[in-house]
Amino acid sequence: MEKITIIIDGKQVEAVKDQPVLMAARENGIDIPALCHHPELESSGGSCRVCLVEAVQGGRSRIVTSCNYPVRAGLEVNTSTDQVMKIRKGVLELLLCRVPDSEVVRGLASKYGIDEPRFFKDEGENNRYKCIACSLCTQVCEDVVGVSAISMQNRGVEKAPGTPFHKDSQACIGCGACAYACPTGAISMKDSKGVRTIWGRKFKMAACSVCGKPYIPQAQVDWIVKTTGKDRAFFDKCPDHR
Amino acid sequence: MGANVQKNKIDVKKIDRIIKGYDKSEESLLAILQDFQRAFQYVPEEGMKRLSRAMGVPESKIYAMGTFYKALSLKPRGKHTCKVCMGTACHLKGAGQILETIERELKVKRNSTTEDGLFTVESVNCVGACAMAPVVVVDESYAGHVRQSKVMDILDKYK
């Protein structure tokens, strides 16, 4: 881990070489808004365009996505110049057109002074509800969970995550990592009476032997035991009573 | 009903034969899907499921691939594909009316298949033959300078 010094918003800060600019800024208390980036997922980011900043290197200035732009020696980053704010505002306005139902996007846009987009609002046949098609959910499902139960389907304006053939996915373990990772709350997951419903499939939940609260889908326990060889008895109790 | 069962049986054998002809590798996936498309005029769900099992690739990935490429269709297609070019040049030369004529005469909406399963009618964006505008492509054969009054003569040859 090679430490180098870069300049963010005129302030000299220390950062790790090749670390994303976004992470370096956040570690130094400079906030850059972002939707599609997840710190635990190296492959994530670069699709929502909310985290755009100005990067100056070798006298040349470029607008880049800070979530996947690597920190290098001599880099100077500006996160809130007039130009950056104008572009970010434009990005948020377009996102709001796409997902007018999303509270997260609406809240972020309103911080930048946009309450109603000037353009059309997507309420027609390609309405993606709250989904901005960033593919964070499918990346989590593949890289972290390792089951690839969902994938990004179709393309262009119709691109959206889903299960194969729009039917119950046999690969899904009901863990809910996709719903947890989704930056805009677009994936519905409901737990009720010991049954979890996600992606249209129902999962029986295993209950804690101490408090009796259903806390993990049985299918997820089976998957963890199968892939890690962990003792099944470990899951008898919920994390609060272990 | 009996005919349907018979058809499914043939499908499965054909599917497995196609898969067997390729190496077990992710690189073979698209070629196999294309073979399905050629053999069945569409990519059957059973084909994608068997392919997933044979290659050890998640169903979701194969489904993503199948929905991404326009050359692959997940719904059964007609025996012949009739593409009406809607590129700029063809559009100006009246491709819209030509498509409407076909829709009316074949009683079919664009991007769907006739009831008898003979034609799938599609509107496409530029087939790269603008000098011949307006262009109608039936299967692999290009017809140029198509006139509204003559377009059905072209299609009648395939009936």
pLDDT tens-digit readout, A75-108: 999 999 999 999 999 999 999 999 998 999 999 9
pLDDT at res. A124: 67
Q: Is residue B97's pLDDT more than 80?
A: yes
* pLDDT at B6 (0 to 100): 43
In a domain, A35, yes or no: yes
The reply to whether A187 falls in a domain is yes
Per the domain annotation, does A91 fall within a domain? no
Mutation for A interface: B45, B49, B52, B60, most A CBs within 10 A: B60
* pLDDT at residue A126, rounded to an integer: 65
**Residue A44 placed within a domain:** yes
Confidence of residue B2 (pLDDT cuts 50, 70, 90): very low
Using the 3D structure, point to which of A63, A80, A97 is the last residue of a domain: A80
The answer for B 102-131 residues in CB contact with A (under 8 A) is: none
Does a structural domain hold residue A93?
A: no
CATH number for A23: 3.10.20.740
Across the range A107-125, mean pLDDT stands at 87
Locate the chain B residue with the closest alpha carbon to A141.
B60
How confident is the model over B5-27, as pLDDT tens digits?
444 455 889 999 999 999 998 89
* pLDDT tens-place string over residues B41-86: 889 999 999 999 999 999 999 999 999 998 898 988 888 999 999 9
Size of interface A-B (CB pairs under 8 A): 39
The CA distances from residue A78 to A56, A65, A82, B46, in Å, are 8, 12, 10, 53
Q: Bin B139: left if φ > 0, else alpha if -120 < ψ < 50, else beta.
A: left
Residues of B in contact with A165 (CB under 8 A): 45, 48, 59, 63
Q: Which residues of A touch B72 (CB under 8 A)?
A: none
pLDDT score recorded for residue B78: 86
- Cβ of A151 under 8 Å from any chain B Cβ? yes
What is the number of domains present in chain A? Answer: 2
Last residue of a domain, one of A80, A98, A120: A80
Q: Which residues of B touch A163 (CB under 8 A)?
A: 60
Per the domain annotation, does A26 fall within a domain? Answer: yes
Residue B97 token pair: 């009316």
Instruction: For the domain covering B80-156, report its CATH number.
Output: 3.40.30.10
Tell me the pLDDT tens digit for each residue of A24-83: 999 999 999 999 999 889 888 899 999 999 999 999 999 999 999 999 999 999 999 999
Tell me if A97 is assigned to some domain. no
Rg (CA), chain B: 18
**Do residue B63 and residue A152 have CB atoms under 8 angstroms apart?**
no
pLDDT in tens, A153-192: 998 888 999 999 999 999 999 999 999 999 999 999 999 9
- Out of A80, A104, A127, pick the residue that ends a domain: A80
Instruction: Say whether B74 sits in a helix, a strand or coil.
Output: coil
pLDDT in tens, A2-26: 899 999 999 999 999 999 999 999 9
- Indicate the domain borders of chain B: 2-68, 80-156
Looking at the structure, tell me whether residues A74 and A156 fall in a common domain: no
What is the share, in percent, of chain B residues with pLDDT greater than 90?
73
Are residues A152 and B58, on separate chains, in Cβ contact within 8 Å?
no
pLDDT tier for residue B3 given thresholds of 50, 70 and 90: very low
- Quote the CA–CA distance of B10 and B97 in Å, as a whole number: 41
β-pair type (B141-143, B136-138): antiparallel
What's the gap in Å between the CA of A177 and the closest CA on chain B? 16
**CA atoms of A6 and A3, how far apart (whole Å):** 10
Question: Is A45 in the same domain as A141?
Answer: no
What SS3 state is found at B141? strand
The two structure tokens encoding residue B40? 């069945």
Reported as a single tens digit per residue, the pLDDT across B118-143 is 999 999 988 999 999 999 999 889 99
* Residue B79: other Cβ atoms inside 10 A: 14
Give the structural domain span for A69: 3-80
> Beta strands B80-85 and A76-78: pairing type?
unpaired
A92 domain-assigned: no
A-chain CB neighbours of B60 within 8 Å are 138, 148-151, 163-164, 169, 171
Q: Exposed, middle or buried: residue B78 (CB in 10 Å: 0-12, 13-18, 19+)?
A: buried
